[in-house]
Amino acid sequence: MTYLIKPKLHHPKLPENALGYTRRDYEGAISTLCAGCGHDSISAAIIQACFELAIPPHRVAKLSGIGCSSKTPTYFLGASHGFNSVHGRMPSVLTGAALANRDLIYLGVSGDGDSASIGLGQFAHCLRRGVNMTYIVENNGVYGLTKGQFSATADMGSKSKKGIRNEDSPIDLVSMAILLGATFVGRSFSGDKTQLVPLIKAALEHRGAAFIDCISPCVAFNNHPGSTKSYDYVRAHNEAVNYLDVIEGREEITADYAPGTVELVEQHDGSLLKLRKVDAGYDPTDKRAAISYLQEQQAAGEIVTGLLYLDPEGEDLHDRLGTVQTPLNALSDAELCPGRAALEKLNASLR
């Protein structure tokens, strides 16, 4: 793969985070995506979120599948671990990595083709298992990389660039993720940085399976008037259920205390989510209400965005499996291979 590295030079007065890094330290190579692609805006939001959280870049493992969306990890967090896997297989590679080393922060980036078509089974199982990760689908309703075929999230009745009508009903990844057992589920729009950056920060802070469906218009194949994934449609039909801000367990990240109804939700790791609700009736911790609200708004043609479901007591797969605390690469040979006697004892316990 060829890619262009950005020059390291930057203005000496760029703001620094708690680690002394500037935003530039969280960037990657120069993007080769089409100008105006929503995916580039999501990369910028990821960079901003990691900068604001002062995450050490080498603590992040970014994984993806295949597609324009799955190319994007090259364009952010250049100093992080990265693995560009096979089409639709990111979730199982991420699960394996997370099981081998629980100390890294796992960020999975995928497309609607990657996750809702070929990788649907993988998507389902890593969410229901509670793998500790942030899983972002950059949802444009098409297979962008392979020139605009309908994906499984494309609207029924929508027309492709070539004028062909989609006859299949779409998969709503957000509703699926809630039903499957993800403990943090949000939806946003690539063009809404004010909402997306705090949502990504909250997902990164969440312990357990965090999923974000991010609508991301494909300017080459799916940004026309008939598509609900176009810039114009989302701007006109977006119903935001909450304004979200994150307060880390360690220190407060933002001082934005604008008026409005505020709800503080404590997460398992002690960090707090601050929700400023624009819709006073919306409770993200009520699973059944969240699902029916999503269905109602969808029937009315609205796209609900924001933090849609949260279980603050989310579990990590490691808790369920009772696995060793230490990353496997830090265990000694004797610990990894305790010998014949230990194996015989284990076998005997299973008879």
Ligand X SMILES: Cc1ncc(C[n+]2csc(CCOP(=O)(O)OP(=O)(O)O)c2C)c(N)n1
Binding site residues, ligand SF4, CB under 6 A: 33-34, 37, 39, 68, 140, 144-145, 218-221
d(CA 46, CA 140): 18
Residues 110-129: x/- map of binding to ligand X (CB under 6 A)? -xxxx---x-----------
What's the min distance (Å) between Cβ of 153 and Mg ion? 8
Bridge partners (DSSP) of residue 110 are 137
Question: By C-beta, is 140 or 271 nearer to ligand SF4?
Answer: 140
Distances (CA, A) of 117 to 71, 143, 170, 175, 189: 18, 10, 11, 16, 21
Asked whether the beta carbons of 200 and 45 are under 8 A apart, the reply is yes
d(CA 264, CA 284): 12
Total interface residues for Mg ion by CB under 5 A? 5
Question: By C-beta, is 221 or 243 nearer to ligand SF4?
Answer: 221
d(CA 160, CA 69): 19
Helix then strand then coil, in percent of the chain rounded to 5, is 35, 20, 45
Which entry of Mg ion, ligand SF4, ligand X, none binds 33, CB below 5 to 8 A by partner kind?
ligand SF4
Question: By C-beta, is 139 or 271 nearer to ligand X?
Answer: 139
Closest residue by Cα to residue 110 from 133, 91, 128: 91
Asked whether the beta carbons of 3 and 32 are under 8 A apart, the reply is yes
Which entry of Mg ion, ligand SF4, ligand X, none binds 87, CB below 5 to 8 A by partner kind?
ligand X
Closest residue by Cα to residue 186 from 139, 232, 154, 124: 139
* 160 contributes a contact to ligand X by CB under 6 A: no
Asked whether the beta carbons of 79 and 55 are under 8 A apart, the reply is no
Q: Which of 31, 64, 122, 151 binds ligand X (CB under 6 A)?
A: 151
* 228 contributes a contact to ligand X by CB under 6 A: no
d(CA 46, CA 31): 14
Question: By C-beta, is 115 or 267 nearer to ligand X?
Answer: 115
Q: Which of 140, 158, 188, 227 binds Mg ion (CB under 5 A)?
A: 140
Measured in whole angstroms, the distance separating CA 200 from the mean position of its chain's CA atoms is 7
Q: Which of residues 22-61 bind ligand X (CB under 6 A)?
A: none
The tokens for 258 are 């604008």
Which entry of ligand X, ligand SF4, Mg ion, none binds 47, CB below 5 to 8 A by partner kind?
none
Question: By C-beta, is 120 or 219 nearer to ligand SF4?
Answer: 219
Question: By C-beta, is 143 or 184 nearer to ligand X?
Answer: 143
Which entry of Mg ion, ligand SF4, ligand X, none binds 66, CB below 5 to 8 A by partner kind?
ligand X
Question: By C-beta, is 23 or 89 nearer to ligand X?
Answer: 89
Task: Specify burial of residue 165 (Cβ count, 10 A radius: 0-12, 13-18, 19+).
Answer: exposed
Interacting residues with ligand X (CB under 6 A): 66-69, 87, 111-114, 118, 138, 140, 142-146, 151
